Structure 1
Amino acid sequence: MESALEEIEFLALSSNRVEVLRLLAAEPHSRGELATETGASQATLGRIIADFEERSWIRRTGGEYVATATGRIVADGFTDLLDILETERGLRDIVQYLPTDEMEFDLRHLADATITVPSQTRPNAPVQRLLDLLRDAEEVRTFSHAFNDQTIRVVQERVATGGQRFSGVFSPGAIDALTADDRLRNRLESLRAEPDASLRVRTDGVPLAVMIADDVVHLLLRDDSGVLQASLDTTAPAVREWAIETFEAYWESAEPLSGSL
């Protein structure tokens, strides 16, 4: 009897096997329909069908084939494995920068995330991605250890023209960095004065840099030295739920930004 690993290898070595099993797990197909869907020859399909019938993964019903209950289990499990590996490949180069200790959701929810990394021609690409999202957003909520000059400019201009509602929780260091510069301090004062803007400071700090721009959750990812390495954004509902819950928790544990800057 073949081991489970050998069965995995049996499927993995043939994309046609994977596709045929996936199709038959979804609904019955004739051999002609399988040939059209997969592009496999009749000889190849004959071998696949024989192998699958030997394993009781499929059965014939009239002139069609369909997956058995165990065949559907195998199809679902193998599809899940493929999805996991595709997600891992996408995250492989940035996983060391992900704040996974704080991310209370399954990383599989990042399967369709947009990852932006700096390049020689676009060294500021991750921040530019964030700015593009901010320019279109009607509601922005953020919790972050940083609030740079480009971001605060876009937010202040959008809020001042009535195009955006903004709520932010920041670490003391983020506010200190802004108030140390006269121009940025004035912009922060202007933003704080807007009725559609609310800013708070969390004494214990904020270990993440997350913005929720309407339905999009955006993370800026830095290395241990604070150098920006990438950004990641997604519209996955589970990630957005986590981001909103985390924002609300930080908001409740922070104090309004008040007094003279």
Structure 2
Amino acid sequence: MDTALEEIEFLALSANRVQVLNALREERRTRRELVERTGASQPTLGRILRDFTERHWIERDGDAYAATATGRLVAAEFTDLLETLETEGKLRTVMQWLPTEEMGFDLRHLSDATITTPSQTRPGAPVQRVLELLERAERVRIFSYAFNEQSLDVIRRRTVEEGQTFRGVFSPAAVDALAHDSALRSRLRELTGDESAEIRLYDGEIPLAVTITDGVAHLFLRDENGLLRAAIDSENPEVVAWAEERFERYWEESSPLDSEELE
């Protein structure tokens, strides 16, 4: 293990080494091409090529260099490790609120995610993020334990007036909270009366608040006291597929909302 750790350290201590090995993993390249691609100086590049040759990670191929089978293996695995650590670093600030037990996908798929957290100047930033997604979406699907006023307003306007299609699955408590307010009840009734919208009630626990807008999956993150701490959204196909599968499951197991239930 010590030898393997030494090799990891050897690569990790030099971004130039990683760049050169990855460049040669892709295709054979001349020294000039490697300098142009990595920005490494000629002396630095010479040392790197010598060290890689001694390890049998690369081989000379005429006037160029190419990665060997073991070189490609090392480059691929080290790149995976870097990407994993980059993703972990990105998620670290919100990890304590991520409902990982409910998320049926590899967390590495969140490497492209947009994380939105409240700040002193923008305390409502997580909600504003989902509103932005709702504003430009043509198709919206939601499964959630809550349905906030801002989202209802945007979805009602975009659906009733602008042709957005909407399907939502909510817990009865989420709809009851809206129905108790006469103004919100009126907006909800108008939404459910539109042919482009359908709302269903799920008679059970919905532990997540997920919005799918076209090709984006958005998730609210709350703490153990229910306080909104962050929002995370991703266009990764695996994350979106998970959200869509989860939505369809709730949809099939729910019943249509009767407008009379809003009274």
Q: What CA distance in whole angstroms lies between the structure 2 residues aligned with 1:55 and 1:2?
A: 16
Q: What CA distance in whole angstroms lies between the structure 1 residues aligned with 2:190 and 2:49?
A: 70
Name 2:175's counterpart in structure 1: 175
Question: SS of the residue aligned with 1:158?
Answer: helix
Name 1:9's counterpart in structure 2: 9
Question: SS of the residue aligned with 1:177?
Answer: helix
Name 2:229's counterpart in structure 1: 229
Judge conservation of contact 1:170–1:205 (CA < 8 Å) in 2. Answer: no
Count of residues paired in the alignment: 261
Q: What CA distance in whole angstroms lies between the structure 1 residues aligned with 2:63 and 2:174?
A: 68
Name 2:83's counterpart in structure 1: 83
Q: What 5-or-longer segments of structure 2 have no aligned partner?
A: none
Name 2:203's counterpart in structure 1: 203
Shift in CA distance, 41/260, structure 1 to aligned 2, threshold 3 Å:
closer
Return the TM-score normalized by structure 1: 0.97
Tell me which amino acid in the other structure corresponds to 1:215: G
Identity level (%): 58
1:175-211 CA-to-partner distances (Å, cap 9, x unmatched) read 1211121111111111111111111111112110001
Name 1:118's counterpart in structure 2: 118
Q: CA deviation at 1:5?
A: 1.0
Q: CA deviation at 1:106?
A: 0.9
Asked whether 1:99 is paired with 2:96, we answer no
1:89-144 CA-to-partner distances (Å, cap 9, x unmatched) read 11110111111111111111111111111111111011111111111111101100
Q: What 5-or-longer segments of structure 1 have no aligned partner?
A: none
Q: What CA distance in whole angstroms lies between the structure 1 residues aligned with 2:147 and 2:211?
A: 11
Q: What CA distance in whole angstroms lies between the structure 1 residues aligned with 2:35 and 2:192?
A: 64
Name 1:35's counterpart in structure 2: 35
* 1:137-148 mapped onto 2 (5 Å cutoff): 137-148=137-148
Name 1:260's counterpart in structure 2: 261
Question: SS of the residue aligned with 1:100?
Answer: coil
Question: SS of the residue aligned with 2:173?
Answer: helix
Question: SS of the residue aligned with 2:36?
Answer: helix
Q: What CA distance in whole angstroms lies between the structure 2 residues aligned with 1:162 and 1:149?
A: 19
Q: What CA distance in whole angstroms lies between the structure 1 residues aligned with 2:248 and 2:52?
A: 52
Q: What CA distance in whole angstroms lies between the structure 2 residues aligned with 1:41 and 1:134?
A: 49
Q: What CA distance in whole angstroms lies between the structure 2 residues aligned with 1:158 and 1:63?
A: 61
Name 1:184's counterpart in structure 2: 184
Q: What CA distance in whole angstroms lies between the structure 1 residues aligned with 2:210 and 2:2?
A: 48
Tell me which amino acid in the other structure corresponds to 2:28: P
Asked whether 1:149 is paired with 2:149, we answer yes
Return the TM-score normalized by structure 2: 0.96
Name 1:134's counterpart in structure 2: 134
Q: What CA distance in whole angstroms lies between the structure 2 residues aligned with 1:52 and 1:122?
A: 50
Q: CA deviation at 1:167?
A: 0.4
Tell me which amino acid in the other structure corresponds to 1:205: E
Judge conservation of contact 1:172–1:205 (CA < 8 Å) in 2. Answer: no
Q: How much is the aligned-residue C-alpha RMSD, in angstroms? A: 1.2
1:159-179 CA-to-partner distances (Å, cap 9, x unmatched) read 111421110000122112111
* 1:6-85 mapped onto 2 (5 Å cutoff): 6-85=6-85
Runs of 4 or more consecutive aligned structure 1 residues displaced over 6 Å after TM superposition: none
Question: SS of the residue aligned with 1:111?
Answer: helix
